[in-house]
Structures are given as structure tokens and as C-alpha cells.
Structure 1
Amino acid sequence: MRRHFAVLAALTVLLTACDAETSVPTSAPSATATSASSSLPELRPKVDAIAVLLAACVPKLAGEPVDPIDNCANLMPDVAEVISEVEQQADPLAEAARTAIGEVRRQLAEIAPCEPWFAGGGRTDDGQLDFRCNQAWDSLSASYDALRDAL
């Protein structure tokens, strides 16, 4: 995860500079809320950093094979780690946030078999896998967004 946070600044600049259009997944995390308004202000920077990294994956899902280092599947353990940290401190959270945690966990399980789809940039020779993984990606993005909004 530290490697991902180290490249976060570079990705932010890259995302701003590259307004890539994609015909595969369409969801990307929403704008960052302030840490002061967060129920878990100490975790908000991590939650937001993962959201930026998830958004950075969208241009990589343009239907072309990606370098193994850029495979968005590599980010899923980091998503799970941050969700675990949030989950450990979920007691003071509103019901919407606790529900969103469960939904992100469910979506992580749904997207687990999608490594070949990620490696292919959001496209494989298996139309059913492409459909399932595109749906899983959109759902993961939406549920992570919901969690961020609920924090």
C-alpha cells in the first residue's frame, strides 16, 4: 500500500492532465470530502487515497492490455486493507456507513475473479467475464463512493 500512496501525487497530476475517455467502465469515485467533516478523520486520507487510485484505474480499462504493474487487480488488496481499518472503527458510524462497508466487501468478492479482465484493460475473449467484471467494477466504484459519502 505504501507504494500506491507514493505514486498518488503523480497519479493525481496524471489524471488531471489525461482526460482519457473510456467505453468500458464508467464509474469513478466522487470528489473528496473534507477530513474535518468525516466520522473517522484519521482514516479519511487513506480512504480518499484509495478513491484516487481507483479513479486512476479507469483510463487503464480502455480495452487494451496493460502492463502487469499497472493491473488494477493489484489495488484490490489495498482496498480490502482500508475497508478493514474502517470496519474496525465502525461502531460510531451511521448505519449507512456500516451498510456501505458490507457492500464494498461484497463487491471485492465479486471482482476477485477479474484479474484477466483487468490485465486486458477491461476486455477479454470471454464476453460473459467482461460483462460480469464490468458490472463488478461499476458496483465496486459505486459502493466505495457510498462509503466515502457516508464517512
Structure 2
Amino acid sequence: MRYSAIALAFLLAGCGTGTSSLPTITPAPASSAGSPLPDLQPRLDAIGVLLTDCAARLRGEPVDPADNCTHVMPDVTGVVAEVEKQSSKLPPAGQAALAEVRTQLAAITPCEPWFAAGGTSADRELDARCKKAWDALFRGYSAVRNTA
């Protein structure tokens, strides 16, 4: 678990912390104590911060090739797998959002070169498909976070 925290710290530093007017993944008004999955709240919140920071980078901000946010997907997949293990505790909306995130994680897999290029390519069809997959993943993860 300690190694996960260290890796997460590197990811937080690596994905940038610039401010933007983009939407963010933030906790719902309820406290962790009222959450169906209080033990996962810190990880869910941390991944939400990473996705929020990466969204800014994938929407046109200059991206260093070493700082392209592709490394976030394994962490998203990991926390989603942990939520799935306890999904029976989630309300129906959370279970539906979880299924949507799983679908979006599969849809985003072919977009790794797009991520590596900072969310742009010479292929408009690829740009549109990957942007749509990214936006759906972002919305779905936010819904999972807010129901968990």
C-alpha cells in the first residue's frame, strides 16, 4: 500500500497542477463517513484530481512528451477494480456509472498514441473518437466518485 501512495504522489506531480476553467471531479457534498465506500474515498479523490489535471492537458495546452497523462489509465483501472469488488454497496446510479466507466476504459485503450501526442493528431476521426471516449470516461468517473 505504501508503494501505491508513492506512485500516486509521482503521478500527481507528473500530470501537472495548472489552473483551468475546465470541469473538475470533486467529491459530492456528502462526507466520507456517509459514503458507501469510505475506505476508497482518498484514492477516488486522488484519481479524480489526476483526471482533472490531464483533461486540461488534453484540451490544447502544451504537453511535454514525458508528461502526457497516459500513465493515469492504469491507476483509473485499478481504483475502478477496487470499487467493483464492493459495487453491491453502491446505489443503482453508481453501479450504472461503474459499468459505463468500464466501457469507456475499453474504448480509450486504442487512444494511447493520441494521449502521447497531447490529445491531438493529424487524423480528425481519431481526434473525435478519442476526445469523445475521454469526455465519457471523465463524466463516468465523476459519477462513480460522487456515488461512492
- TM-score tier, shorter chain, comes to 0.7 to 0.9
* CA distance, structure 2, for counterparts of residue 66 and residue 3 of structure 1: 23
Return the offset for 1:35: 1.5
Q: Distance in 2 between matches of 1:64 and 1:89?
A: 37
**Aligned Cα RMSD in Å?**
2.4
Query: 1:59 deviation in Å?
Result: 2.5
From 78, 82, 107, the equivalent of 2:79 is 82
Q: Secondary structure at the match of 1:141?
A: helix
**1:11, 1:56 within 8 Å by CA — same for their partners in 2?**
no
Structure 1 portions without partners, runs of 5+:
none
Out of 5, 10, 17, the residue aligned to residue 8 of structure 2 is 5
SS in 1 for 2:71: helix
- Residues 53-132 of structure 1: pairs in structure 2 closer than 5 A: 53-63=50-60, 66-132=63-129
Tell me which stretches of 4 or more aligned residues in structure 1 moved more than 4 Å: 8-12
Count of aligned pairs: 143
* Contiguous gaps of at least 5 residues in structure 2: none
**Cα distance, 1:28–1:111 mapped onto 2, change above 3 Å:** farther
TM-score (structure 1 length as normaliser): 0.82
SS in 1 for 2:43: helix
How far off its partner does 1:148 sit? 1.2
Preserved CA contact (<8 Å) 2:47 2:76 = yes
Equivalent of 2:131 in 119, 134, 137: 134
Q: Is the 8 A contact 1:28 1:55 kept in 2?
A: yes
1:136, CA displacement in angstroms? 0.6
Contact map agreement 1:65 1:119 (CA 8 A) in 2: no
- Alignment partners' CA distance in 2, 1:148 and 1:82: 10
Q: Describe the shift of the 1:126–1:56 C-alpha distance in structure 2 as closer, same or farther (beyond 3 A).
A: same
Sequence identity, in percent? 48
- How far, CA to CA, are the matches of 2:57 and 2:107 in structure 1? 20
- Whichever residue aligns with residue 69 of structure 1, its letter is A
- Using the size of structure 2 for normalisation, the TM-score is 0.83
User: In structure 2, how many angstroms separate the alpha carbons of the residues matched to 1:27 and 1:70?
Assistant: 20
The alpha-carbon deviation at position 73 of structure 1 amounts to 1.7
User: Structure 1 residue 19 and structure 2 residue 22: aligned?
Assistant: no
CA distance in 2, matches of 1:131, 1:37: 38
Residue 32 of structure 1 is aligned with which of 16, 20, 27?
A: 27
**How far 1:141 moved relative to its partner?**
0.5
